[in-house]
Structure 1
Amino acid sequence: MKALRLLDPERAHGAALLALRGGLAPRVPLVTNARLRVQLAGLDLPNPVGLAAGFDKNATALHGLSRAGFGFVEVGAATPRPQGGNAHPRLYRLTEDRAVINRFGFNNDGAEAIAPRLARRPKGLVVGLNLGANKDSDDRAGDFATVLHRCGALVDFATVNVSSPNTEKLRELQGPAALAALLARVLEARAGLPRPIPLFLKISPDLTPAELDDLARVAVDAGIDGIIATNTTLDRDGLTSTHRAQAGGLSGAPLFARSTRLLAQLSLRLDGAMPVIGVGGVGSGAQAYAKIRAGASAVQLYSALVYDGLSLTARIVRELDALLQADGYASVTDAVGTGRQDWL
């Protein structure tokens, strides 16, 4: 980890993926038991701690990630056509804040290149694909549907990503009319798959209460299977690091409270209609537990790995298990939403 932090952040990220592909990364035990196992939208998860999209954009390191202790892994975002993303530099460590700013812009190899890699994914690993739209597309809803049509049969779930701040006007798709039309197109594509897979929606932490009301209503009416809360934020309050003013989406520790508050508000609005996956600032078992008690059925992480490495995964799961046991919960599901009021 010390050596990787001496590298440019994006080069370090590439080196980590290379190590995973080459079997050089440390093997992390999969921590699981009856208390930790979760059924989420029909998915059987050995534990509720997953890897968020963005780490393995092109599904090149799935075999290495299958030995990293995650209960599930999300790759992507994938777009129909390959795209290089935004200009370099576009990834910044905010070490003093234990945070990251990125403005990648959906850089990926494209769905045609990613699909064969998904077809060779390791058995037993729950894998999802984050769906994206090309930056220059004149039919972004069609782009999401195209990626799902090409790759949907090769994954266990898919996520509609309308919340990245790094693709111009993408977040406008979170408006009620645009979102309803988009979800209808994607659900139509899902209906054409050989087997149905859960469809999730990933949302921004920067939504107003009124926008969250609309989004929850549209999601329930559309009949999707869950919501991932949240993506990165444009907020910069309280940061101290040198790179705090860089453009892009902020993730990591400073996002924890903001994303957890919105998660709790969303959970209240959904009232059990669908599960929520909590993302944003998870770096310990206590933080994973807080998101579960705020209303999440599972959690994802990414930025904390930049500072603590892959061994963090098993540590978070063990800490979470101990907290569940100490509070007398027989399962993760029993704890979901029990502390929601603390965040409202």
Structure 2
Amino acid sequence: MVYSTLRPMLFSVDPEKAHNLSISALKLLQTNPFLMNQYYKRMNVKDPRLKSSYWGLDFNNPVGLAAGFDKNGEVYSGLYALGFGTIEVGSVTPLPQEGNPKPRLYRLKEDNGLINRMGFNSKGVYEVGKNFVTTAKPPLPIGINLGKNKITPNEEAALDYIKGLEVLYKHGDYFVINISSPNTKNLRDLQHITNLHGLLTQIINKRNNLLKELKLYRPIILKVAPDLTPNQIEQVVGTALSAGIEGLIVSNTTIEREGLHSVYKKEEGGLSGKPLVQKSTELIYKVYKQTQGKIPIIGSGGIFTGMDAFEKLAAGANLVQVYTGMIYRGASIAKHINNELIKIMDQRGFNSVEEVIGSAHQE
């Protein structure tokens, strides 16, 4: 209710400026342990039915924050106070880069969506590594989403992801290989089967070497695009499994524009939010059917409510991620979704969130 009152004022500000203001507010929050604790008590939903464990990591609830908000690992501690089950930092590139020219972020208010063409704006792996050293790590899994630099040719892309692993390996609890953003030229070409197996094999080999050297296990997760054909997604998932990938994020933003009403609907970039909700859920269903639960799936795309989350879990997601939903529902979105999810589980006779996973395939 409070956020619905504030939102018109926030939406009157340029979206990227509003984002930067949010980062500044969270940095300020992190300097006040008492206030952090008060926020956490208010936002965190404690219920054993929401808990799960994957990759040796414990998740207090299934609602995570997707990459794109805390791009440089500056405010994950403040975000923890908002009740998320996991937080993903990034995308992080090896070298610092500005990303695409501004404006590059648009609110599609009539559609409850966003279009972004940020282009992996990043302070680079070394600066992000410094932030991890100076920012207290909260007790929840922190993922790091890795991207490649714009200037790096696709033939050398594996070296960029390997660099990210080398520098940040001790700081992340899991790593996401992002080759599905539509905002870096030719990046999605890395999803083609002729490129994918070699790329993933090199990354997995590097992780295995780091595991032996540092005695730290960090799962490697692949983030896939929603715009692949059914045959392409089947090939991508099959290749990922054969290469040793240990999880999938389904899905990234879409370049489709069907059914939009906003004046910004023709802007270039990736579309996220409500227009993507059904498409991503259907894709999760297909991927789960193919993988048969062999590896965990993180469902992302258009999650605003507990029902949105429930449908993705039932389709086969083990965890879910939000971002655009937070822009429209506010900082308490994880609390709202978790409370709504518990009510739905009660109504439908599920005793734990793990029982929900893949249940749509049994109907």
| Amino acid aligned to 1:152 | Y
Give TM-score, length-normalised by structure 1: 0.96
Gaps of 5+ in 2: 1-6, 30-34
Quote how far apart the aligned CAs of 1:312 are.
1.5
Counterpart of 1:158?
175
Question: 1:252 & 1:78 partners in 2: Cα distance?
Answer: 22
Alignment of 1:1-344 (within 5 A): 1-23=7-29, 27=39, 28-119=42-133, 120-138=135-153, 139-193=156-210, 194=214, 195-340=216-361
Alignment check: 8 A CA contact 1:118 1:155 kept? no
CA RMSD of aligned residues (A): 1.4
Structure 2: distance between partners of 1:246 and 1:41: 38
Structure 2: which amino acid aligns with 1:53?
Answer: A
Q: Structure 1 vs Structure 2: percent identity of aligned residues? A: 41
For 1:340 and 1:235, the matched residues in 2 are separated by: 27
The answer on whether the counterparts of 1:156 and 1:197 sit within 8 Å (CA) in structure 2 is yes
Mean CA deviation greater in 179-188 or 66-75:
179-188
Amino acid at match of 1:219: A
Helix, strand or coil at the partner of 1:104: coil
The one-character-per-residue Cα deviations of 1:71-123 (angstroms, maximum 9, x if unpaired) are: 00001000100000000000000000000000000001000000121233423
Residue 32 of structure 1: CA displacement?
Answer: 2.7
Give the conservation status (yes or no) of the 8 Å contact 2:59–2:140.
no
Question: In the TM superposition, what whole-angstrom CA distance separates every residue of 1:52-76 from its partner, at most 9, and x where no partner exists?
Answer: 0001101111121110110000010
**Letter of the structure 2 residue corresponding to residue 113 of structure 1:** E
Q: Deviation per CA, 1:199-220, whole angstroms, max 9, x where unpaired? A: 1100000010111111111111
Kindly provide the amino acid, as one letter, of the partner of residue 182 in structure 1: L
Q: Structure 1 or 2: larger helix share?
A: 2
- Measure how far apart 1:341 and its partner are: 7.3
> Number of residue pairs matched?
342
Matched residue of 1:150: which SS?
Answer: helix
Q: Aligned to 1:153, what secondary structure does the other structure show? A: coil
**Is the contact made by 1:294 and 1:337 (CA closer than 8 Å) also made in structure 2?**
yes
8 Å CA contact 1:66, 1:122 repeated in 2: no
- Give 1:273 shift: 1.3
Where 2:359 maps in the other structure, the secondary structure is coil
Report the Cα distance in structure 1 between the residues aligned to 2:162 and 2:149, rounded to whole angstroms: 12
Distance (Å, rounded) in 1 between the aligned partners of 2:119 and 2:46: 35
